[in-house]
Amino acid sequence: MSIGQATAGTGSGQGYGSGTVVVTGLGATTPLGGDVASTWSALLAGKSGVRMLDWEGIEELPTRFAATIAVEPEEVMPKHRLRRLDRSQAFALIASHEAWRDAGFAPRDITGRASGEPSEGFEPDPERLGAVVSSGIGGLITALDGYRAFQQTGWKRVSPFTVPMLMPNGPVGHVSIEFGAKAGAHALVSACASSAEGIGYAIDMIRSGRADVVIAGGTEATIHPFNMAAFSSMRAMSTRNDEPERASRPYDKNRDGFVIGEGAATLILESEEHARARGARIYAIVAGAGYSSDGHDIVQPDPTGAGASAAIRRALVNSRLTPDQIVHVNAHATSTPQGDVAEILALKDALGQEAAAKVLITGTKSMTGHLLGGAGALESLITVLALREGVVPPTANLENLDDAVDLDIAQGEPRRLPDGPIAALNNSFGFGGHNVAVAFQRAV
């Protein structure tokens, strides 16, 4: 019997309903590594996951590189499963399996075959288990490749799995089925803020008493010629084709756009009572989240940073934190000329100049590229590890700091964080004017 089943016998059906939410498991597959450990070590070493693409006709595109996944799904999952999954869905399952095991839950067989023997480990009550896995774009590759097959060979060659493969809620659907989550499966879509917003929703699921445990994450797989052409047409991506590994350079005077990435990250969120009752390892406290919208432009951020500032202030209120408690920010920092500066303005406005000056900021997209809808989950995971390990990965490729950036940016080498009960923020902003800030506290 699970803890959720054992304690929900009051008739309320509310289980623990804890006000404190903690992180008990982490999982990832990224351009830096096929798991959390390899990704984290590469970040601390300042390595880049950006690579040249070798597609036919790639020379016609202004940008010919991307942060592609380090370990292909075929190396982890059998081909018979992958035929029914979009690439983004495979990433989400791989990351979620690692997070599930890391949380101390009974492992599932990623091959999709039942082992016949029960696995050792804790089994959460399915009725108290939720899933929130977001994607900003969903199964784009499935849609584009499927349409090409339709044009070339007719409708009978279109896969019967096409619709569930291209749905933006497909990743969370598969994750919820894989782990038997029945408290609710949700996919929030807010462009590059999607998975950060999803983490906030997961917090609310636990605080409201809907769930004791939530699988919360994000995934994206949109490195495709059409998508690259679309972003190139917007002039949003870097064109540093001679030095792709140095193209993503947040806060640098010579930054010229973002670098698209792919991958997934998952965090297991849990009520503190539930986690402690089962003796789980606690990585950090998920203190709260704040949201806002710019109401400014469908693509460009508000140059004053007003919307981002509002999200940060609301995250502090929701978390019951003061600006002085924030010692670190994993910034959105996409390496775009306008966005990087707007975020600095937002931090100074939300925290106050004095408190902001004491915050250590990093931009890890300089190494991972921009995972779009998966970015918030991955960067939240990195923020959790920074708090737990007491060290912040550097911002890579930062050689000439922009004159408008007058805060402390980690660069060159990893930087230490202070001891004690400190807190950190992860910021995520998306096309459409979506702003999300998630606050974490060190578990002590």
Phi/psi for 405 (5° steps) reads -100, 100
Residue among 272, 269, 265, 273 nearest 200 (CA): 269
Residue among 93, 412, 401 nearest 221 (CA): 93
Of 174, 186, 274, 332, which residue is the catalytic one? Answer: 332
In eight-state DSSP terms, residue 158 is: S
Q: Fill in the amino acid letter for 122.
A: F
E strand or H helix at 217: strand 213-220
Strand boundaries in 233-378, DSSP class E: 263-271, 284-293, 326-330, 360-362
Phi/psi for 427 (5° steps) reads -105, 140
DSSP one-letter string for 89-105: HHHHHHHHHHHHHHTTB
Active-site residue, 192 included: yes
Of 186, 224, 370, 434, which residue is the catalytic one? Answer: 370
E strand or H helix at 233: helix 225-233
Active-site residue, 332 included: yes
Of 192, 224, 274, 328, which residue is the catalytic one? Answer: 192
Those residues whose C-beta lies under 8 Å from the C-beta of residue 444, and which sit 6 or more positions away, are 420, 421
Q: Annotated catalytic sites, by residue?
A: 192, 332, 370
